[in-house]
Amino acid sequence: MRKALAGLTIAFSSAATLLLFAAVLLFVGVIVFRGWPGLAPGLIFGDTRPLDALLLRRQVFDGLFPAMAGTLALVALTMTLAVPAGLATGIYLAEYARGRGKALLSLLFDILAGLPSIVVGLAGLALTIVLHRLFPGRIGPCLLISALALAFLVLPYLVRSVQLALESVPRTLRLTAPALGADKLTTIRAVLLPACLPEIAGGIILAVGRAIEDTAVIMLTGAVASAGVPRSLLAQYEALPFYIYYISGQYADPEELQRGFAAALLLLAMCVVMLVAAQWLARRGSLRRQP
């Protein structure tokens, strides 16, 4: 009886593992095999000369350039907003907040971490509507609103990585600077944050990966299928994940579909690279921690 249970467990575990990996490899394989041929010189810039496109002298209509530029602008803006807020919040939660205040704040950030991204996008849209009523005709769904909403979406990742890293600094290191007369803020700035740098960098990269791939937030707050390179913070824009979603339902010809697969492959590669980098940094941090 015991023996049969052991055998069953091993069979079940092997089957489950193989099935899961086979399923993921199937999906990834489809993207790689059908996307690979599309990685041609014209993929990004189409028929336009790359230099003309980069200098914004000419619009690219049949390439991924506008979507990539949109995603780049979006992620850069998102992180500019999210990193300072995430750092400040993580530092405050780890080093200052105590008791009930801390419990309430971490409950709120746990809720935020669990919220569906479409709900965060919806909140961004709600903000747009309010702003639209205040400044009629000036503000609609746009790059800035998307970045605000995305920053909010990735905030918990940043807060958590900063907070966890700070809270795991060993006590000997933590007391060194105060014993020499440093005040709390100086200790944080000069000793604790430098000691946590790899983990914080890992958290930031994780957040970038999350911001690059998110589709639900941006489809509610300003991403569109055709807008060209983003011209201003208050303009609509194209983005790589939205482009992939759009192509899946709306492709007109095999060429467009091919470009969709190639775009999916590019996005997949970016996210995997980000994840590997984040893992590596986190591991380096925990190794350095050991005495």
Residues numbered 143 to 172 that lie near another protein (CB under 8 A) are 152, 155, 159, 171-172
Among 77, 91, 150, 204, binds another protein (CB under 8 A): 91
Nearest-approach distance from CB 140 to another protein, in angstroms? 10
With 0-12 / 13-18 / 19 or more C-beta atoms within 10 angstroms meaning exposed / middle / buried, residue 102 is middle
Please tell me what DSSP assigns to residue 161: H
Among 260, 262, 281, 285, binds another protein (CB under 8 A): 260
Among 228, 268, 284, 286, binds another protein (CB under 8 A): 268
Among 57, 194, 256, 280, binds another protein (CB under 8 A): 194
Output the CA torsion sign for 13, 16, 19, 21: negative
223 binds another protein, rule: CB under 8 A: no
Identify whether the C-beta of residue 153 lies closer than 8 Å to the C-beta of residue 273: no
Please tell me what DSSP assigns to residue 290: -
Query: Contacts with another protein: how many residues (CB under 8 A)?
Result: 107
CA gap 270, 279 in Å, rounded: 14
Among 58, 193, 271, 286, binds another protein (CB under 8 A): 271
Residues numbered 52 to 81 that lie near another protein (CB under 8 A) are none
88 binds another protein, rule: CB under 8 A: yes
Nearest-approach distance from CB 48 to another protein, in angstroms? 25
Output the CA torsion sign for 97, 81, 113, 139: positive
185 binds another protein, rule: CB under 8 A: yes
234 binds another protein, rule: CB under 8 A: no
Among 117, 146, 161, 236, binds another protein (CB under 8 A): 117
Identify whether the C-beta of residue 140 lies closer than 8 Å to the C-beta of residue 224: no
**Which residue, 54 or 197, is less far from another protein as judged by CB?**
197
DSSP H helical ranges for the chain: 2-35, 42-45, 50-54, 65-91, 99-114, 117-134, 143-167, 171-179, 184-187, 193-195, 197-213, 216-221, 240-250, 254-289
36 binds another protein, rule: CB under 8 A: no
